[in-house]
Chains A and B, each alone.
Chain A
Amino acid sequence: MIEASFMSYISLSILLFSIGIIGLISRKNIFIIYMSIELMLNAINLMLVTLSKYFSSMDGQIIAMMVMAIAASEAAVFLSLIVAMFRLKHSLNIDDYNALKQKGTL
């Protein structure tokens, strides 16, 4: 069994976070964007737990627990919002939701 090093946890976390960001920026489907956001959250959680272990402090783990709890509740809101949005426009393409675009003159 290979002992996973501290740096590999960090690297994994950064990797996951980067994947999340790229997904957030490049994909158009709202679900995938949502999943990217969740991925980023979990990357941060991983980072927190790793650092917590590294510094021998429980703070990071506590925050990670809180993040998970919030993410769960946020997921409920987000999913219901997506359902509502889909009802409105019958589309999951993020580019169709552009009501705030500046049009014409001031």
Chain B
Amino acid sequence: MGLFVAQLLTGLANAAALFLVASGLSLIFGVTRIVNFAHGSLYMLGAYVGLTLMNTLPGAFGFWGSIVLAGLVVGLIGILIEICVLRPIYRAPELFQLVATFGVILVIQDLALMIWGAEDRLGPRAPGLKSVVRILGEPVPQYDLALIAITPFILFALWWFITRTRIGILVRAATQDREMVGALGVNQSWLFTGVFFLGAALAGLGGAIQLPKGGADLLMDLNIISAVFVVVVIGGMGSIPGAFIASVLISVLNVFGVAYIPQSTLVLIYVVMAVVLTVRPYGLLGREEKAGEHGQVGEVERPIRPVGTRGRAFVFVLLVVLACVPFVGSSFLQVLITDILIFCLFAASLQFILSSGGLVSFGHAVFFGGGAYAAALLVTYADTPMELALLCAPLGAGLLALGIGWFCIRLSGVYFAMLTLAFSQLVWSLVYQWGAVTGGDDGLVNIWPSAWLSGTTAYYYFTLAVGVGGILVLRHIIHSPFGYTLRATRDSARQAEATGIDVKRVQWLAFALAGTMAGLAGGLFVFSKGSIFPNELEIGKSFDALIVVFLGGVKTLSGGVVGAVFMESIKDWLTRLEYWRLILGLVIIGVVIIAPDGIVGSLRKLGERIGLLKEQESMR
């Protein structure tokens, strides 16, 4: 009983920081409709800034003052981010905003590394709250009790601010109809900036307040962000009380999970989330989201056409060149191109669902990794021949996509994105924690191709055939009636429905198809490397693919492939630099703001300007 209570209290204390970060994210989303992926980074900054301040300011006053100051400093950094990065892209589609905030994560990671170094830091203990209290015989840190006492006050203060002050009323009005609030004489830009300040300050406060419990390190940004997503998704986006309830639920669940079923804590959390969302798709206290609120950036979408003769000739020449590589290039080059081809297929599958389907999947790596693991498990446990296992990779991933898609397709926009991310995390945690079967962190090794493909050159040709084949199949589908239907559901779901298209079914099938192709890429990957580890289905891998598609050009057909080639080619060189994240982050932000058409789109425009390409008759 004593242990039970002590664990409950620990859970409640852990909820404090989580709630602060989640409520900030929720607040920002409510007004600006931007899911700030960099919110974890603000939390991390709060911890580092708080630590620095605590080391300078003495005593209890210094300790608590540092926490408040850290919140303010991070709030100011939030203003900077809002003005420089987000203001130019409020009208852009959500993908652009998400990618931009992801760029911010990279920038902050390297800035923190520069300023505070790579070592993990321990937080100081709170003056006057250093000891433990015995509750029912179990020791409970005094600081935990202080946190439990503080959290309701923060909740109350936020609630009061939102419901009782003029600014709070304006914030709620803007959540619903920004333009109307502007037409009534309210300067929305400053309202947005103000909300961003508050949201960022809350994250900073969260980072600083958890210092005595957790310290500061460079991984805490991404570690908290998936937990925060789970919290806001369960609680309902934009709902502060929802964020509170979900923070407590998740934190308590986590503590008990660690105590009683340590091997499946993570899984437990994601299962709870899946259950909540199945029953209430918009979270416990969330509101139904109206679809199609997001505008276009730049010009109207161009009609997609099959490649002309010149384009075909170019692809043919390219293939001939690639086929000749083994005669002239080193085996290193062959391995590199094999990697690139696999990544191209993966990126093309994401581009398919993203550009043609209009569905921003944030967990696409789960199908890549899922396919790879399906093949690897078959080889490891059933001694399946490589040919059959490789065939099962896309099948397994396709089935997985059917399952995950069944849940996710019911939502759209940001909710869809968060849900795909959460499900991919569920699968990742399953793979990571179920070590007995999947090998956990050690992965699965010794997954080699059959004898006839064991040479580098043989596997190179094999990948070339399958990879390019897969990409061509995807392109072909886009130009088929199914592709037309899919694009119809993207452009106007309602109109499509009125035409007699079963929108959800079409999207579901497209999602499964994209998963299948990603799985095929995963299958090729595992046999080329001979091993597979959980990081192949992590968030990071999903983001890699998103960034590649984005850099290549979202509104184009070949953007994914071109972006993948570009990225994989420079990655080797780029990652050798000390602060490559900073550079990449700035490039991403720059592309979002300056050249939202990506590489392919920008080249096409350039070609049209200098007269190499005929200008397409674009629609009204």
To the question of whether A and B form a pair in one complex, the answer is no
